[in-house]
Amino acid sequence: MKKIALTLTLSCFFAAGLMAQITDPKATEVWDPVPRKITPGKNGAAPSDAIVLFDGSNLNAWETQRGGNPAPWKVENGYMEVVPRSGGIQTKQKFEDYQLHIEWSAPTVIVGEGQERGNSGVFMQGIYEVQILDSYESKTYSNGQAASIYKQSMPLVNATVAPGDWNVYDIIYKAPRFNADGIKVADGTITVIHNGVVVQNHYHIKGTTPYIGLPTNEAHGPGPISLQDHGNPMKFRNIWIREL
């Protein structure tokens, strides 16, 4: 009993001492290290510490998903456009944790409905899809509409703008982690801001995002950003990434 009383007395003594220390505001000030200074971009432009993946001029940062050949999509008027049935493209560089900015526009000539209308996708590490779809006035399954984590998580709201207008995705992504035995030890997480609106709030990715079947979790390391050719002439512009 005396030992417990002594322990409580000492705890109170040290707590009182700590409280005495933090009455000085300087005790909780951090002066070093200092966050490095960057220049933020205006109106969605890339900040000074970003890696620019597409600035409207060329596809030098991109290649075909199969074969690693030069990306065959069309570039004109400051945007790239899917050449239907030419295949998806991916970045030559691989990434893990990042902030990604990408802008996309659906065709003004309306063809099809649901998944056949203005369809593409942006894949984190080439594996986990954030759906791109003309969901302005078109019905489809909720976990497959624009800004969904495909077949996993529907967006909190539908923030899609009309075909021909530019949608903006700002994506905060943390990759899943695997141990030396290939077992997943931490989920990947993703936050999606669609046209300034949070539509995926730190979602824990369950695994791959297949069209058919359940998610799987094969071990992997860094991977590319990839864009899907779903047969629609989708447009993309102003793509940049900041590694975190």
Asked if the structure places residue 7 within a domain, the reply is: no
Q: What is the mean pLDDT of residues 96-111?
A: 96
pLDDT at 4 over 90: no
Say what the pLDDT of residue 19 is. Answer: 54
Q: How far is CA 16 from CA 2, 10, 21, 153, 170, in A?
A: 21, 10, 9, 49, 46
At residue 21, the pLDDT reads 65
pLDDT at 166 over 90: yes
The confidence band for 11, taking pLDDT boundaries of 50, 70 and 90, is low
pLDDT surpassing 90 at residue 10: no
The predicted structure's pLDDT at residue 14: 46
| Contacts of residue 97, Cβ cutoff 8 Å, sequence gap at least 6 | 173, 174, 175, 243, 244
Checking if the pLDDT of 148 tops 70, the result is yes
For residue 15, being part of any structural domain is answered with no
pLDDT beyond 70 at 3: no
Q: Does a structural domain hold residue 20?
A: no
- The predicted model gives 197-203 an average pLDDT of 98
pLDDT of residue 22: 82
The answer as to whether 9 is a domain residue is: no
- Stretch 158-178: mean pLDDT: 98
Would you state the pLDDT for residue 23? 87
The amino acid that residue 165 corresponds to is: D
68 in any annotated domain:
yes
pLDDT recorded at residue 17: 54
- Count of domains observed in the chain: 1
Supply the mean pLDDT for the chain.
93
Q: Per-residue pLDDT for 8 more than 80?
A: no
What is the number of other CB atoms lying within 10 angstroms of the CB of residue 241? Answer: 22
DSSP helix, strand, coil percent of the chain (3-state; round to 5): 10, 30, 55
Structure tokens, 112: 């099809």
Q: Supply the CATH number for residue 147's domain.
A: 2.60.120.560
Whether residue 219 is contained in a domain is answered as yes
Dump pLDDT digits (tens) for 56-96: 999 999 999 988 999 999 999 999 999 999 999 999 999 99
pLDDT of residue 1 exceeding 60, the answer is no
* Full domain range(s) for residue 182: 41-243
What does the pLDDT average to over 17-39? 84
Domain assignment present for residue 26? The answer is: no
In a domain, 165, yes or no: yes
